[in-house]
Every structure is written in structure tokens, then in C-alpha cells.
Structure 1
Amino acid sequence: MQGIPAPEGDADLISTDYNIGQDNIEGTVGPFGFDIHNPVFLISGLSVVAFVFYTLALPEQSGDLFSWLFSQVTQGFDWFFLGAANIFVIFCLVLIFTPLGSVRLGGVDARPDYTYAGWFAMLFAAGMGIGLMFYGVSEPMSHFSSSMGGTAAEGGVRTDWAPLGAAAGDEQAAIRLGMAATIFHWALHPWAIYAVVALALALFSYNKGLPLTIRSAFYPILGERVWGWWGHVIDTLAVFATLFGLATSLGFGATQANAGLNHLFGVPISNTTEVILISAITAVALISVLRGLDGGVKVLSEINMGLAFVLLLFVLLAGPTIAILTGFADYLWAYVVNLPALSNPVGREDTNFMQGWTSFYWAWWISWSPFVGMFIARVSRGRSVREFIICVLLIPSLVCVLWMSVFGGVAIQQVVQDGYTAAQEADLPLQLFYMLEALPLASITSFVGIILVIVFFVTSSDSGSLVIDTITAGGKIDAPVPQRVFWCTFEGAVAIVLLLSAGGLASLQSMVISTGLPFTVVLLLMCWAIFRGLQSERANT
């Protein structure tokens, strides 16, 4: 993800109907050059340090706690995550088709800071990440295997797919179902989550002149109390959600990079290797932080974009190209047909899919929403709300669908047409590399895949530290470098200690879903605040 500084708004374009309480948001420069924003930095910073030491000191106990949290949240609140995500999609669609969609971010005379081509490219960058590298092959393959009677251990459709299951032995139906389930997790719902946060930040920053931080969106609800403890709690929750969402992505990236290095060069798969990887890549991210946006994360993001496009194009051309392209439309239609059943939050029999996949994904995306939302907000000034939502929902969704259709589609075709099952039988982090092994130039493309994972790792860590730094500094986008270094370092530390705990990757999933739960409430309230803010804008025009 590429970090872009917020464009400067003209004073005459910013509404002054809200009191921004600037005296309450300005932090003070403390020891070691930290810009301390009231209690938010201290509370979140000290909590993260305490969490790291607790997990290192008691790995077994912490692992058991994380496992308990995961089961309690996924089993008790699966309906809440699914219902909330549906509300976000419906809310975005309502804004498109009502007069509120005509409100322009930045004021009636504001014009976009970027062309469509540049804006779409940056939305594409926001949609790419370690998750697409980790799950691009493994998720379509997992859902295909679970829904395909011929490959299921029971000899028929597994019970966790009962509401959607294909008839036993119906290969094509199983492919469509597996891809529809995958697209469900990467298309409208996650991007509606991001759109809500991005719209709130853009609206209240560009139109109302408030600081670029999560608490600003709650001024219509809380008034001046937003600068007090209510605002501190909201921003602190945003910090925790973002931190653990990033740590989860970094953990997935480390395990996949380790698996790829083992596959190519025989590097041992172990906690030690993964700790070394996280430490080394975090060090590179720190260099990127010190070089700044233009000399650091922007350059790395451009490299990553180019490599990702080249790898995508290669797999498309080296694989069954016609089948992939026709499958793209077929999979999209399967997604539309199965969307009501996939998004239904009540009366489900497929608890493994609903809790282990969907609930985790929605919590993960919600945790990432301050991160991606702030990025999108920074590059979207001058767009109408209608234009903003249509593009933020559709452009990145289609990119994600294309990526999954190409990588997942090739892997499934290898099983169905060629009888090549190595990718299907491999562990999740290795499935990408085994899929590439069946194509030409496997050593080169696998190495490119490892580089992509690593650079995604670096840009996520760098950009994530910028976002957390902005939140803890009260909306400032130019907070001191030492503070950004602190967050970048501890993002890596949290990923390391969670991987070292008894649960490993499961601990990462547990923490992201646990922090995603309270932040879901924040996003639901944010929808009402956006509605109030848009009504105010309409009244002033």
C-alpha cells in the first residue's frame, strides 16, 4: 500500500460549522522526540509494550488465552460480524442512490487532486497486500476441495457447506462455488468496510476542517466530548485494531516467505527463521521510514506494483488463458447468485466456514480499515460521494476478483485437467509455490513471489506505522520520525511474539478478531455520523 500525504485544502472550501477544538488535539513534544497526543500515545504505547513482554514471558498461558478468545468471539459473535458487514454494504449502496451522493469531498468547488488513471492505480495499490499472496491459491483451492464431492474425505459434500453445497461429483459446480466463496471474502463487503472509514475521514477532514483521525467522525454524535475521553477511547481502539491487523498480515507474510525460501533454497522452516525474517524486514521498513514517503514507501510500492502485474500477467498467459478469462465472468456470476446465502447471518449450518473463514475475514478487514481508509481518504479529495463509493467498491473488488480468478483458477485447473495435486495437498503457505512449479520458469517466478511477499511486508509495515502515528499524534501527518520508528518496531515485535506463543498463527487470528469486535461497533456508529455530516453538507449548499 502506498502512503500519500493529504492534499492541502483551500480555506474557502472548508465548512466551519464544527468547532475543531484545536487546543484539545495538539500534543506536546516529550522525551526522545515523541509527539504525545494527550493520553492516546501513552495508553496505546504502554499497552503494546506490556503485551509484548507478557506474551514473551508466558507463551503457553498467552497461547491458551488467545485460543479461548478466538473461540468465544467467533462462536458468540459470528452473526454480529456478518450482520454488520451487510449493513456497511447496504449503507454504501443507499448513499449511491440518494441525493446525499452528490456531496463533494472538499466542498462544492473542490476538484480532484489526481486523474482517474492515477486514482485508480492508487486504489489498486490499496487493494493489494500480503493477504492476496497468501490466499490467492490456497483459499480457492480450500473451498473447491471442501465443496467437491470427489475430493472430500467423506465422499460427498461436507456438512459445513450444506446450504451451498454442489451435488457430489459435480466438478464444475464445485469450482464455481469455491470461487464464489473466495470472491465473497475479497469483494464488496471488505471494500464497503474500507469505504465507510475512508468516507468518514475525508468528509470530516476536507469538508469540516477536523483533524485526520478517527475521533473526528464522531463530532456529530459526541460534540465537544470528542476531544475528551470518548475520543481517546475511539482513537486507542483504532490503534489496537490497526496494530493487530498489521501484525496478522506480517505473520502470514513471514510464514509464506519462509515456506518459499525452504522450497527454493532449503532454508529450514522454523520459528527462528521467521523471527529473523520479521526482524530483517522490519529493519528495511525502518530505513524506508527514515527516507520518508517519496524516497521510501512510494518507491517500494511502485516496484511492488510492477512485480505484481508482471507475475499476474505471466500466470495468466502461462496457464489456460481462455479458461481463466471465461471463468472470470462465470465466477462473478456465481458470486452474485450465492451472495444471499453467503452473507446470511442466521440459521447457518456451515459453521466452520462462517466462523473460521468469514468472521475472521470481517474482523481482519475491520482491523485494517483505519489503515486502508486513511490512505483512500488522502487521495480522494474532490470526488463526489457517489463517485467515491462506486469506484472504491468496484475498482479494487474487480482487481481482487481478477487476482483470485487467475491464481486460484490456474491451481484448480491443474487438479481438474492435469491431475496435478501437489498444490492442493501442500500446506497453505506453500500452495502458491507448488502452483508456480507446474508452470514454466518456476524458479524465477517463485523467487519473484518471495520478493513480492517481502516488499508487501515492508510497505505494509511502513505505511501502517504512518497511520498509527497519525492517529496517536491527533491527526498530524508530519509527526516526529522517532515516533514512527517506535510504531514500526513494535509492529514487528507484536508479530514475533504472537508467532512465538503456543498458538502461532492462530494467536494472530485470535487477536485480530478480538480487537475487530469492539471496532465494529465504532464503524456502525460511524455510519450514523456520516449520514448526519452529509445532511449538514446538503443543507449548506
Structure 2
Amino acid sequence: MSDTGTPTPDGAADIIETDYEIGQDNIQTKLGPFGLDIHNPVFFVSGLVIVAFVFLTLAFQADVGPLFNDIRGSLTSNLDWFFLSAGNIFVIVCLVLIVSPLGKVRLGGKEATPEYSYIGWFAMLFAAGMGIGLMFFGVLEPVYHMAVSEPLGVPSPFAEDGSLIEENLAAAKAMGMAATIYHWGLHPWAIYAVVALALALFTFNKGLPLTVRSIFYPIFGEKVWGWPGHIIDILAVFATLFGLATSLGFGAQQANAGLDYVFGLPISINTQVVLIIGITAVALISVLRGLDGGVKLLSEINMGLAALLLLFVLVAGPTLAIATGFFQNILAYLQDLVPLSNPVGRTDDSFRQGWTAFYWAWWISWSPFVGMFIARVSRGRSVREFLICVLIIPMLVGVLWMTAFGGTAIEQVLTNEASAVKEYVIISYSPELSLFGMLSELPLAPITSVVAVVLVIVFFVTSSDSGSLVIDTITAGGKVNAPVSQRVFWCVFEGLVAIALLVGGGLAALQAATVSTGLPFAIVLLLACYAIFKGLSSEPR
């Protein structure tokens, strides 16, 4: 039965709820050292492997850098077709659910009502899902794809001597924005939505614990409470931790670049390590305040600061070009969506393997974190409402952001031979400086650069805070109110993993860890799609 007491077809939900009582005994957590309320196999295996990883990475720094480079190159070049195909499947699943009768199912039961307003809900979706990424890539990616990477074989508008080739310009500009939106549009949010919907369904409607293994009850039955379930949750912990570490590494690099630009703070690994330590300490305070007092508050601060910075760029930048470009860029994205999604028979290896395959692995590795976070704040929404909002609203915000920041940067590159963005993205390739280069050519650059640094740091804190809550829930067997000491443990280790990867191999190490954990978890998500349909089919509509 659903939690409203309504009978369901074939008694499917009855079976799940009955077996959950048996399963709860099998995954029962117990008080461990230092007051930790732990799910023993998942907590200890995850914790020990991560501690060993941090130690070995820091102890053998000279050896791990080349190893990480080889891992990332091998996986993205040989399995790019798999990552692209998986991403396409997730989008199709979401679209099918939106238009099918299954979209009428309400998360939490027929009488459930939303716990958060639309504004609060959207703020948490946006901040948790893509905050640091939009800050880091919002200027970099549109310019880079227009001028360097040549997606789908569209030639660059720049000759080797730097002169402008006018006949290539329109197609290159359109492709630069379409390729960027492709990486930040339907596909990543569909990945998040699959995990979030599955967790919300099996937790709120079926009464199972809020942990990734619960999704697979329709497939594995009672075995999810044993080692098959342990392995699924351990993979979720690894994917979340390394996905977050990659984002924290990007955030540290960009915050360091901004502090150098504004205050002259040297750009170095040591500075970035200090930044990670300091921001992790701030995240700990947010962790102690809990979901409403910490994450929700910081998410709303993020939204306010991001809106102010976006409004400034809209006004100070090429306003008319941004306004018209928003709709033109959506159209370009829709026109090129199918060829960009095609996993075979393409020649743009550097774009497909170096960017898209890595992005899909990154989003997949983030999906347990973002998905569980979205699930926790989405009770009371219908499946159709949930999917439309999770897919469309954040995507439109992302398009507006990329159009404003990327579009302004493209205009600067094309109209100014000495453009800072051209130097940082096309000539010297210093991606962490691209945002500050764009802001430097607009009025009030010192002020807006400070706002950008603060925004990066707050996004950084929000991601670390949210991630520690999610990993804590997984390792505590689905409990959402585990002891504070346990949340502190995972928050600290997120920072340590980011430091270890940054010191051990830099950005390449961060990306390699993400791709390595994203690969097995992609298989987990493909199985989750089947479980979603099976679970929804037993719900009253």
C-alpha cells in the first residue's frame, strides 16, 4: 500500500513494504566509536579505502600524476560512446515519464504537499546542481568551443595568425553556444532527475530507507540488504566524494585566481590548499546548522548574489545581443542536439572525448549527491511537475547565464584584439582567469570581481555542506538525522580528498578520479531506470 493507505495494483507496494521490515533489521545501524551511528560495511569500507587513497596519493605524488592522466585519457577515448549513449537514455526516460500517465504519481502519496515554496526549491536545485561549474565554465566554454575545439567540425573564425575569418563567424558563434548549452542543458539534469526521482519514489512512497540501494529492491529483492546493496552504496559514496572533490578543485583554482586579481594573492597549489581548508571549515559550520539553517540559507544567498552579478552583466554588457541571443542560443541548441548527442561516426574527438565524455562522467558521479539532495526537498511534487521543473527551469537559468557571460565574452574577443578573455582562453589557456578577464573589461571591475570571488566561495561551501549530508545519509543506512560527528567526518574528508588530488596530480587527477567513479555508477543508473518504471507502475495515479 502507499503511505496514504490506498491499495495498489498487484500488491507490489505491499510486498516492498513488508520486506522492508525484514531489510531494516539487516541494515540496522548501531552506535560505534566517537558516537558514530554507522552502517558498518558501507561506512568502514568507504572510510578505509578513502583514507588509504589520500595517504597513497600524498605519499607518491611524483607517480600518481602521470597515472591519473593515463586513466582519464584511456576511459574518455575508449568509452566515450558509452557515456554519450547513457546520457541519451536518461533524457529519453525523463521525457517518456513526463508525457505518460505515470507522471500523475505524487511523491509521498496522493495527499502529500510540498515542504518548500517554488523559490526556495529552485534555489536549492540551482545551487546544489551546478553552482561552481557555471562560475568556472560560463565564460570559458562558449569562447573555447567557438574558437578552439570545433564541435561537429565547425571551423574556428580565427586563422593561425589570429586574423578573423568572417565567413566562419556566424556558424562558430552559434556552435560555441549550442555546444556549451548541450553540456549544461537537458542531459545533466536528466541524470540528476533519474536518481532524485528514484530515491524520492522508493523512500516517500514505498517506505524504504533514503539510500541508493533502495532503488534496486524491484530488481534484487531482499539481496539489497546484503552485499549487492553494500556495493551499490559504496559506489555511490565513491562517486559522490570524487565528483565533489573535482568541483572543489575547480572552485579553489578559481577563487585563488580571483583573489590574485583583486588582492594580489599568489596563484599556487599551497594557496589553493589553504583555501580548501578554510572553506571546509566554513562548511562545517553550515553542516552543524542542518538542512534549513545551513544549506537552504546559503542556497538563497547564492541565488541573490548570482542574480545581482547576472543583472550587472546584462546591463553593463551587450544587452540587446544578450536578449536576442537567449532565444537564438536555445534554437541553436535544439537544432544541434541530435548530432551533438550522436555517440558514433564523428570526427570531433577532442570535443567529444575531452569535453562531453568527461562532463557526462562528472554529472553521473555527482548524481548521488545532487539526486539525494533534490529528493529530500521534493516531497509532495507530482512526477510530471518534478521532472518538468528539474529539467527545464535550471536549464533555462543556465542558458541565460551562459548567454550573458559567454555572449559578452565572445563579443569582447571579436571586437578587441587585446581582450583579456582572448588571452586567457585562446592564447595562454588559463581557464580559472576567464571570468575575471571578462569582468575586467566591464565597469566596476574591482567590485564585481570581489562579488564573483564571494559567490565561488559560497557555492563551494554549499557543495561541501550538501555533499557531506548526502554521504552521511548513505553510510548511515538511509538515516537523515545521523549524529553530527559523522557529518563532520565526511565534510573533513571531502576537503582532504580534494587536497590529495590537487597536490598529487592537479586538475588531471581530479578529472581522472571523476571519470573512474562515473563509469561503474553509470551502469547503476541504467538499472535504476528500469526500477523507476517498475516502482511507478504499482502506484495509484
TM-score (norm 2): 0.93
Give the Cα–Cα distance (whole angstroms) in 2 for the partners of residues 154 and 241 of structure 1: 43
CA contact under 8 A between 2:136 and 2:431: conserved in structure 1? yes
Deviates more, 1:314-323 or 1:375-384: 375-384
Give the Cα–Cα distance (whole angstroms) in 2 for the partners of residues 484 and 95 of structure 1: 35
Give the Cα–Cα distance (whole angstroms) in 2 for the partners of residues 329 and 401 of structure 1: 9
CA contact under 8 A between 1:244 and 1:511: conserved in structure 2? yes
What amino acid is aligned across from residue 132 of structure 2 in structure 1? I
The offset of 1:101, in angstroms, is 1.6
SS across alignment from 1:107 = coil
Is 1:208 matched up with 2:206? Answer: yes
What amino acid is aligned across from residue 101 of structure 1 in structure 2? G
Partner of 2:492: 489
CA contact under 8 A between 1:198 and 1:374: conserved in structure 2? yes
Partner of 1:6: none
Give the Cα–Cα distance (whole angstroms) in 2 for the partners of residues 500 and 231 of structure 1: 33
Partner of 1:153: 160
SS across alignment from 1:536 = coil
Change (3 A) 1:279 1:409: same
1:143-182 alignment runs, 5 A limit: 143-146=145-148, 147=150, 149-153=156-160, 169-182=167-180
Q: How far does the alpha carbon of each residue in 1:354-383 deviate from its partner, in whole angstroms, 9 at most, with x for none?
A: 111000000000011111111211122222
CA contact under 8 A between 1:254 and 1:277: conserved in structure 2? yes
What amino acid is aligned across from residue 483 of structure 2 in structure 1? P
SS across alignment from 2:15 = coil
Give the Cα–Cα distance (whole angstroms) in 2 for the partners of residues 154 and 347 of structure 1: 31
One of 436, 440, 443 as aligned partner of 1:440: 443
Change (3 A) 1:115 1:291: closer
Partner of 2:346: 348
Give the Cα–Cα distance (whole angstroms) in 2 for the partners of residues 461 and 123 of structure 1: 15
What amino acid is aligned across from residue 499 of structure 2 in structure 1? I
Partner of 2:77: 75
Give the Cα–Cα distance (whole angstroms) in 1 for the partners of residues 444 and 123 of structure 2: 28
Give the Cα–Cα distance (whole angstroms) in 1 for the partners of residues 117 and 306 of structure 2: 22
One of 317, 321, 344 as aligned partner of 1:323: 321
The offset of 1:156, in angstroms, is 10
Is 1:526 matched up with 2:521? Answer: no
SS across alignment from 1:448 = helix
1:81-100 alignment runs, 5 A limit: 81-100=83-102
Partner of 2:336: 338
The offset of 1:170, in angstroms, is 2.2
SS across alignment from 2:381 = coil
SS across alignment from 1:185 = helix
CA contact under 8 A between 1:201 and 1:217: conserved in structure 2? yes
CA contact under 8 A between 2:80 and 2:357: conserved in structure 1? yes
1:463-482 alignment runs, 5 A limit: 463-482=466-485
The offset of 1:125, in angstroms, is 3.2
The offset of 1:384, in angstroms, is 1.7
Change (3 A) 1:253 1:213: same
The offset of 1:154, in angstroms, is 8.1
SS across alignment from 1:504 = helix
One of 27, 30, 47 as aligned partner of 1:25: 27
Change (3 A) 1:223 1:10: closer
1:373-522 alignment runs, 5 A limit: 373-426=371-424, 427-501=430-504, 503-522=505-524
TM-score (norm 1): 0.93
- Structure 1: gaps spanning 5 or more residues: 1-8, 158-166
Runs (4+) of structure 1 moved beyond 6 Å?
154-157
Give the Cα–Cα distance (whole angstroms) in 2 for the partners of residues 324 and 420 of structure 1: 22
Change (3 A) 1:496 1:118: closer
CA contact under 8 A between 2:120 and 2:300: conserved in structure 1? no
What amino acid is aligned across from residue 487 of structure 2 in structure 1? R
Give the Cα–Cα distance (whole angstroms) in 1 for the partners of residues 34 and 532 of structure 2: 38
SS across alignment from 2:537 = helix
Give the Cα–Cα distance (whole angstroms) in 2 for the partners of residues 150 and 532 of structure 1: 50
Give the Cα–Cα distance (whole angstroms) in 2 for the partners of residues 79 and 507 of structure 1: 22
- Structure 2: gaps spanning 5 or more residues: 8-12, 425-429
1:41-190 alignment runs, 5 A limit: 41-146=43-148, 147=150, 149-153=156-160, 169-190=167-188
One of 280, 283, 295 as aligned partner of 1:282: 280
CA contact under 8 A between 1:13 and 1:109: conserved in structure 2? no
What amino acid is aligned across from residue 69 of structure 1 in structure 2? I
CA contact under 8 A between 2:140 and 2:406: conserved in structure 1? yes
One of 239, 246, 249 as aligned partner of 1:248: 246
CA contact under 8 A between 1:469 and 1:484: conserved in structure 2? yes
Give the Cα–Cα distance (whole angstroms) in 2 for the partners of residues 496 and 226 of structure 1: 34
What amino acid is aligned across from residue 211 of structure 1 in structure 2? P
Give the Cα–Cα distance (whole angstroms) in 2 for the partners of residues 422 and 132 of structure 1: 19
Give the Cα–Cα distance (whole angstroms) in 1 for the partners of residues 257 and 457 of structure 2: 12
Q: How far does the alpha carbon of each residue in 1:441-477 deviate from its partner, in whole angstroms, 9 at most, with x for none?
A: 1000001111111111111111100000000001111
Alignment RMSD (CA, Å): 1.9
What amino acid is aligned across from residue 401 of structure 1 in structure 2? V
One of 365, 368, 372 as aligned partner of 2:366: 368
1:257-336 alignment runs, 5 A limit: 257-336=255-334
Give the Cα–Cα distance (whole angstroms) in 1 for the partners of residues 133 and 265 of structure 2: 23
Q: How far does the alpha carbon of each residue in 1:228-250 deviate from its partner, in whole angstroms, 9 at most, with x for none?
A: 00000000000000000000000
